[in-house]
Structure 1
Amino acid sequence: MRLNEIDYNESKPIDGYGPGFFRVGGEALEAPLVVSPAGPAAWGGLDDAETLAALAEEVDVLLVGTGAEIAHIPAALRARLEEAGLGVETMASPAAARTYNVLLSEGRRIAVALLGV
């Protein structure tokens, strides 16, 4: 088996998670949060579309982690993000964190918004 070291450039990967928190670049942060090329930041949850829409110039795809289980995001949130030009993928938060890391390692313009598990 061949192992390759992953290079995230200057971005911070999601190292782990637990009840109500995510570890980003070695630092435990309370959920909900958004992780973008600018780094991790607090997020107001599914009612806070503007924080996510502001990422439209920085990223092409936004992953939304809906907690321990996959769920639909509110129609108004999806509409606002699509209006801003963001591709939106919804999944459970653990899957969103893993997918974020993979796409980040590929050099993609990606962000993730995570609700706690």
Structure 2
Amino acid sequence: MAKGIVIREAHFPGRAPIDAYGDGGFRFADMSHRGSLLCLPSGIHGWSAEEGAALDVELFERVLAEAGDIEVLLVGTGREIRPLPKELKAAFRAAGMTSDPMSTGAAVRTYNVMLAESRAVAAALIVV
């Protein structure tokens, strides 16, 4: 059998505050990750979203799959605040979540506070 590097989906199986962000990535739980993140009840997952890309329901499928455990979804839209499309906000509402778009930096700070308060919070963070 050939041995080689096995590429796995980026996933941290727990909840952790974000210690740092910027320069193309995030630091949390004594680790670093390059790219965007979804911070969900099931853990912290790598996410394909990029700054400026369309924000559509398909991009948030993993979030919607865990909607029953999320009351508030913070959406870090990059360096600047971008409004969420009506269809996306409607999908979040239908799933029982409130959504709040903000810059990624503000979303990280808010996520950390709400996580420390043991709130049912999740964050979708587009890398800056």
Aligned-residue CA RMSD in angstroms? 1.5
Residue 11 of structure 1: how far off its partner (Å): 2.5
Alignment identity in percent? 43
Residue 35 of structure 1: how far off its partner (Å): 0.6
Q: Secondary structure in 2 aligned to 1:85?
A: coil
Q: Is the 8 A contact 1:24 1:40 kept in 2?
A: no
User: Aligned residues, how many?
Assistant: 108
Task: Identify the range of structure 1 (107-116 vs 49-58) with the bigger mean alpha-carbon deviation.
Answer: 49-58
Task: Tell me which residue corresponds to 1:24.
Answer: 28
Q: 1: CA distance between counterparts of 2:36 and 2:18? A: 14
Q: 1: CA distance between counterparts of 2:93 and 2:20? A: 29
Pairing partner for 2:60 from 49, 55, 75: 49
Pairing partner for 1:97 from 108, 122, 127: 108
Residue 110 of structure 1: how far off its partner (Å): 0.7
In structure 2, stretches of 5+ residues that fail to align are: 1-13, 50-54
Q: Does 1:81 align with 2:92?
A: yes
TM-score, structure 1 as length reference: 0.83
Residue 41 of structure 1: how far off its partner (Å): 0.6
Q: 2: CA distance between counterparts of 1:53 and 1:86? A: 9
1:80-117 deviations in whole A, cap 9, x for unaligned? 11111111011100000000000110111111000111
Q: Runs of at least 4 residues of structure 1 off by over 3 A?
A: none
Q: Is the 8 A contact 1:52 1:81 kept in 2?
A: no
Q: 1: CA distance between counterparts of 2:68 and 2:91? A: 14
Q: Secondary structure in 2 aligned to 1:72?
A: coil
In structure 1, stretches of 5+ residues that fail to align are: 1-9
1:28-82 deviations in whole A, cap 9, x for unaligned? 1132210122211122432313122112111111100000111112222222111
Q: Is the 8 A contact 2:35 2:48 kept in 1?
A: no
TM-score, structure 2 as length reference: 0.77
Look at both structures and tell me which one has the larger radius of gyration over its CA atoms: 2
